[in-house]
Structure 1
Amino acid sequence: MPTKNIVLFGQSGAGKSSVINLMAGEEKAKTSLGTERCTMHWEEHPISFDGYDYKVFDTVGLEEPQLGIDEYLDAIVNARSLIMKLDNEGGIDLLLFCVRAGRFTATIQNNYRLFYEWLCEKKVPVVLVLTGLERERNMEDWWTEYKGTFDKYNIVVDGHLCITAANKLDGIHQELYQLSRQLVRNTVREHTHERLGGDAWKGGWKGGDGWFKRLVRKLTELLSGNHTLKKKDITTTLTKRCGMPRDAAVLLAKQIRQELSQKSSV
């Protein structure tokens, strides 16, 4: 069977790295992606379980409701790089949206829009992973009580998981941790190999024609401040902050400027 690609997203502190380690059954991911927190940056982790192989991409999402120009350009460069990589490796098969139970802000809604609606254009199954429930008698009860919050913010998902990813606790907490591992693995398998009433998911979603242009336009909804940046200023940021070769940065800066101009004239 081909390797399936999973993109894990959510705010820092939601337990994304812990979810990866829970799923893998060993420590694969560190608890931080480093001090340089570029929006849409990612780390790749190969994982195998139940006879299937996966690549899990642990991403850095939004930390504020709006983007400054540096974060905006980071998001553009890293999103394009991720999709280009995954296009060559079969596309995206599943999104896992990590949210720490009890922490709901506008940034959570914007991360959902960024990854599910804008990056993947609502064409990839998305599962909500609610973490931090180790102190609940029945973890699923949290969803029963708070499901309406997600409805209120128009967050629609193909499934949800109420889990704990906190390891090395004792007693009932360790039992909940083992239960959580099985829940995550079962759900991942169902959405990548057993979807549509037993029919295997035929292949991952790929960006396709016009995807990048659409993403640039949509990202401007989260861009704060001055949109009339000069091409030279964008080029400088792309080369110095994002590390792009100058020739590529010049071409991308031109495209970004064109899309910003079209968006502002609408």
Structure 2
Amino acid sequence: MGDSRDLKVLVMGEIGSGKSSVINLLVGKTVAEVSPDAEACTLKTVRHEATIQVQEALTTVHIWEVVGFNQPEDTTGKGSGMTLDVDLDPILQAKASVDVIFFCIQGSRLRNAPTRVVKHINDVSGGRITIVPVITNLEREKNMEDWWERNGRGVKNMGLGETEHACITGLQDEKHKDKSTQSRTSLVAILERRWLSPQDSVPLESILGEHVAQNGGSESNEKVTQRKDSSWWRFRWPF
């Protein structure tokens, strides 16, 4: 992960899944706008910086907050494929690598969770990047981990959470102070384990480049393409 032992985290999920709350928990203050509804607050991919303590060392965490997405759409009209657009160019221009992906899912939306998106990300990355499910909006749970006891199997069926997960609330007011502290501790613990068991970060540019090369030919046959005159990348996959 380089001489600095910095960590690089990608935070992604559907619109309204709690990505901004995860960012604010990690940073320790409000740096990402949070919306009370399902409207998108983050309109472009943004980089944030956080500092965590691992043993006696202070470690910088580079956090990339990816624009939220809706469920992938069938754009063919024939049910033959799905497309999903994601803003990735800021990450590519920074030649950034990724140690772990925090994939945010609202606890109340598990039934509608984007299973196909998760599977496709795993496919594109070749399983080289760990994807950790972060279950959000659990402030009403007496014990937030109780949610996982009830629903963890459903998340694992998506191909997530076999080894790690986090159950959190993004609320940081006085009423939820204890749960907020517990939530940040859960997220930081995941990052600590990555720092203590270092693996090579995976350059996002190389992952996309490999797939563009492997799926060359007409754009309709490519799994990953860059939209013309845009920082957005289009992911395409069959049903």
User: What TM-score, normalized by structure 2, do the two folds share?
Assistant: 0.74
User: Helix, strand or coil for the counterpart of 2:122?
Assistant: helix
1:25 aligns with 2:28: yes
Q: 1:100 aligns with which of 100, 106, 111?
A: 106
Aligned-pair CA distance for 1:113: 2.6
Contact 1:128 / 1:157 at 8 angstroms: preserved in 2? no
Which residue number corresponds to residue 144 of structure 2? 139
Letter in 1 for 2:70: E
Contact 2:105 / 2:134 at 8 angstroms: preserved in 1? yes
| CA pair 156-117 structure 1, distance change in 2 beyond 3 A | farther
Which residue number corresponds to residue 118 of structure 2? 112
Contact 2:49 / 2:61 at 8 angstroms: preserved in 1? yes
Aligned-pair CA distance for 1:3: 2.3
Aligned-pair CA distance for 1:212: 2.7
Which residue number corresponds to residue 9 of structure 2? 6
* Paired residue total: 217
| CA pair 4-168 structure 1, distance change in 2 beyond 3 A | same
Taking only the aligned residue pairs, the percentage that are identical comes to: 20
Q: 2:166 aligns with which of 158, 161, 166?
A: 161
CA distance in 2, matches of 1:59, 1:165: 17
Aligned-pair CA distance for 1:186: 1.5
CA RMSD of aligned residues (A): 3.7
Contact 1:6 / 1:95 at 8 angstroms: preserved in 2? yes
Give per-residue Cα distances to partners, 1:222-243, cap 9 Å, x unaligned.
99xxxxxxxxxx99x723xx27
User: Helix, strand or coil for the counterpart of 2:24?
Assistant: helix
Letter in 2 for 1:136: E
1:204 aligns with 2:204: no
CA distance in 2, matches of 1:21, 1:178: 12
Letter in 2 for 1:121: G
| CA pair 238-179 structure 1, distance change in 2 beyond 3 A | same
Letter in 2 for 1:55: H
User: Helix, strand or coil for the counterpart of 2:178?
Assistant: helix
Aligned-pair CA distance for 1:202: 3.5
1:128 aligns with 2:130: no
Q: 1:57 aligns with which of 60, 64, 78?
A: 64
CA distance in 2, matches of 1:216, 1:31: 39
The structure that has the greater radius of gyration is 1
User: Helix, strand or coil for the counterpart of 1:6?
Assistant: strand
CA distance in 1, matches of 2:9, 2:141: 28
Which residue number corresponds to residue 196 of structure 2? 194
Letter in 2 for 1:153: M
User: Helix, strand or coil for the counterpart of 2:165?
Assistant: strand
More helix as a share of residues: 1
Letter in 2 for 1:64: Q
Which residue number corresponds to residue 248 of structure 1? none
Contact 1:65 / 1:106 at 8 angstroms: preserved in 2? no
Contact 2:73 / 2:83 at 8 angstroms: preserved in 1? no
| CA pair 156-131 structure 1, distance change in 2 beyond 3 A | closer
Give per-residue Cα distances to partners, 1:38-66, cap 9 Å, x unaligned.
xxx51111111210001100112430232
CA distance in 1, matches of 2:221, 2:110: 20
Tell me which moved more, 18-27 or 28-37: 28-37
Gaps of at least 5 residues in structure 1 are 196-200, 224-233, 245-251
CA distance in 1, matches of 2:71, 2:160: 18
More strand as a share of residues: 2
Aligned-pair CA distance for 1:210: 2.2
Aligned-pair CA distance for 1:215: 7.2
